Amino acid sequence: MRYLVISDLHGNWEALSAVLRDAIDQYDQVLCCGDIVGYGADPNPVTEWVRKNAAAVIRGNHDRACATLTGIEWFNPLAQAATRWTHRALSDENRAWLSELPHGPAQVEDFQMVHGSPVDEDEYLVSLHEAREAFGFTEQHLTFFGHTHIQGGFEQRQNRTMQWNPADLRFPRMVDDVASYLVNPGSVGQPRDKDRRAGYALFDRASRTLELRRISYDIMTAQHKIVDAGLPEPLAVRLGFGC
Ligand SMILES: [Fe+2]
């Protein structure tokens, strides 16, 4: 089975469309690590596409917040404003579907996916220290995660933990059984690793090869939609910087 792994779409239809065009005919199933909505101006089209096309989906913290408005006191003011806007903009059907999404970890074949970390969907896995701890809670040797909006990941081999810098790696890359991996496919709709292109991953389970990809998309249209919708302007500006 060949998987398209996506995360942190955040209601960005232009970015999702570009990913789908770039990956066309190169995957059999879609896996989504959450944060389908929040920030972007197209929560309904993006949710409807995921509902229809993803074989497995777990919720992200923004899906939970936008569907139910619970926990938004922990969000910064921009995220709070976007969450309230998204809650109102979502159709009743999409809001109900998002509110019923399961939290991770979700098992797929012999690997798993989570939103934040294996123990907490709200936890950010950024540092080696955080990754070392997280490896202690992974149930499979390969875990896909999102939430940080930073493409890359961590590899643990013979008790040594290494951080992946995608720019230094050659893809496709073999994922072997001897090591353990925490892999972030990157954010489709709001990258924060200073690369404004949409991020995603392709994983071929049979050949155990993994590819992390970036693709340019129509950022200007996504930005105009955010401003026209009355969402906070900094949410449009940041798309142009990938931060
Ligand atoms: Fe996110």
Give pLDDT tens digits for 125-137.
999 999 999 999 9
At 87-135, the pLDDT tens digits run 999 999 999 999 999 999 999 999 999 999 999 999 999 999 999 999 9
Bond before 166 cis per omega within 30 degrees: no
Q: How far apart are CA 207 and CA 61, in angstroms?
A: 32
Going from the Cα of 178 to the center of ligand 1, the distance in angstroms, rounded, reads 30
Residues near ligand 1 ion, CB 5 Å cutoff: 8, 35
Going from the Cα of 158 to the center of ligand 1, the distance in angstroms, rounded, reads 31
State how beta strands 111-113 and 142-144 pair.
parallel
Q: How far apart are CA 93 and CA 27, in angstroms?
A: 28
Q: Stretch 224-235: mean pLDDT, rounded?
A: 98
pTM for this one?
Answer: 0.97
Going from the Cα of 29 to the center of ligand 1, the distance in angstroms, rounded, reads 21
The domain that contains 87 carries what CATH number? 3.60.21.10
Going from the Cα of 238 to the center of ligand 1, the distance in angstroms, rounded, reads 14
Averaged pLDDT score across all residues of the chain:
97
Please, are residues 104 and 115 in contact by the beta-carbon 8 Å criterion? Answer: yes
Going from the Cα of 196 to the center of ligand 1, the distance in angstroms, rounded, reads 15
- The pLDDT assigned to 167 comes to 87
Q: Is 148 exposed, middle or buried (0-12, 13-18, 19+ CB in 10 A)?
A: buried
Domain around 31: 2-240
- The pLDDT assigned to 204 comes to 98
Q: How far apart are the first and last CA of the chain?
A: 33
- The pLDDT assigned to 123 comes to 97
**pLDDT of 159 higher than 90:** no
With vertex at residue 79, the alpha carbon angle to CA 72 and CA 92, rounded to the nearest 5 degrees, is: 70
- Burial code (b: 16+ CB inside 10 Å, e: under 16) for 5-31 equals bbbbbbbbbbbbbbbbebbeeebeebb
- The pLDDT assigned to 40 comes to 98
Going from the Cα of 8 to the center of ligand 1, the distance in angstroms, rounded, reads 4
Q: How many domains does the chain have?
A: 1
Going from the Cα of 189 to the center of ligand 1, the distance in angstroms, rounded, reads 9
Going from the Cα of 57 to the center of ligand 1, the distance in angstroms, rounded, reads 14
Residue of 141, 100, 86, 143 lying closest to 119 (CA atoms): 143
Going from the Cα of 50 to the center of ligand 1, the distance in angstroms, rounded, reads 15
